[in-house]
Every structure is written in C-alpha cells, then in structure tokens.
Structure 1
C-alpha cells in the first residue's frame, strides 16, 4: 500500500509543480492546493498506515505498542487541512480582487503593470 501511495504522492507533486509554472493565477492557486494535499498524504504515509494496533498506551507503559500508527501525524494533517483551506479562500479572494482591479489573471501582465508604473 505504501508503494502505491508513493506513486500517487509523486504524481500529485508533479502535477502541482506543472500548475505552479503556469502564468494563470488561478492555476497557480490550484497547484498550491494540490501540493499541500500531496504533503498531507506524505505525512499520513510516514506516520505508518496500519490497523494492527491502536495507538493507546497501556497502563504503566511509556510507549505505545510496537507497530501502531503514529497519531501525531494525523493531528498535524488535521491542522494542515484547516490552514490549507484558509489559504485557499484567502488566495482566491486575492486573485478575484486582482482580476476586478486589473482585468487579468495573467502573472506576466502583473509584472509588466508593475514596471510600467515605476
């Protein structure tokens, strides 16, 4: 299962990098979202994917049972999902505002407009 997820993570990173190289700001935002999902999936995979043992520490023990999943990575992913959604909403509002102000979502036009004003 981890091998399949490694290929899926690699494909998501490749798609995200491709989208980030585009000139359209909406596609850049989509690339950032896909990249954050790939990182979340990577963290989830690194935290060990198993149903063999619950990550509960027995009374008197100092560590969870050997072979259990790491609950810390799952908690980090839940936090990253919320932060990623906030980033998506904020960046889409910025792109919309830029489109309303400049009538374009092309990143190259932003650079040309910035140097024309100087």
Structure 2
C-alpha cells in the first residue's frame, strides 16, 4: 500500500488510462470514442512525465559555472511528451473532421446505426 501512495502519479495515470480504454470500448458514439482516446493520451503523458521527474533534482540548465549540483531532472521525457501532445491534438482534429464527414454521409455518429445501414 505504501508503494501506491508513493507512486500516486503513476497510479493516477493507470486509472485514467483504464477509464479512457473503457470509454473507447464500451461506447458506440464516435465523439465519446475520441474523448476516450484523449483521456488515454493524457494518461500516457502523465505517466512518462512522472517517470522522468526526480525528487529534489534541478532543471538541466546550468546558470552558474561554479554550481556543484550534479542531480538533474531528465529532460528527454518532457521533450517527447511535448511532441506527443502536438501529435495527439493533430489526431484529434483529424478524427473530428472524419466524424463530421461520417455524420454528413450517414446522418448519425452512432456506430451500431452506421453498421445497420451497411456501413
């Protein structure tokens, strides 16, 4: 139980991922599926950023040449997640535009109704 409390960011990320995955699987509405995908994206971002954080470490920017600090936070997970956020926003915009086209063609965004129409 102590490890769950210590790693509460990771636990929250796993719970968020599970919620997003459940939304993605259980709902037939395309907008709800996109929201579930975004929740999963956010969970992955939270998890990687939490793994890259080191308690008591400083940002990897050296302001003073005489500084004796050797404990720095790893900047790579943060940089990768910034790129991931840009990709996630792009995929969300693309998915929403496809959803608009599906609605214009079928008149609904419910997948079960689209499948009944011969989708």
Shared fold per TM-score greater than 0.5 = yes
Alignment root-mean-square deviation, CA: 2.3
Report what 1:112 is aligned to: 116
User: 2:75 matched to 1:71?
Assistant: yes
User: 2:59 matched to 1:54?
Assistant: yes
User: 2:53 matched to 1:43?
Assistant: no
TM-score by length of 2: 0.79
**CA distance in structure 2 between the partners assigned to 1:77 and 1:50 by the alignment:** 19
**CA distance in structure 1 between the partners assigned to 2:52 and 2:116 by the alignment:** 45
Displaced runs of 4+ in structure 1, greater than 4 A? 56-59
Counting matched residue pairs gives 110
User: Unaligned regions of 5+ residues in structure 1, if any?
Assistant: none
**CA distance in structure 2 between the partners assigned to 1:52 and 1:70 by the alignment:** 9
User: Unaligned regions of 5+ residues in structure 2, if any?
Assistant: none
Aligned-partner SS, 2:7: helix
Q: How far did residue 36 of structure 1 move?
A: 0.6
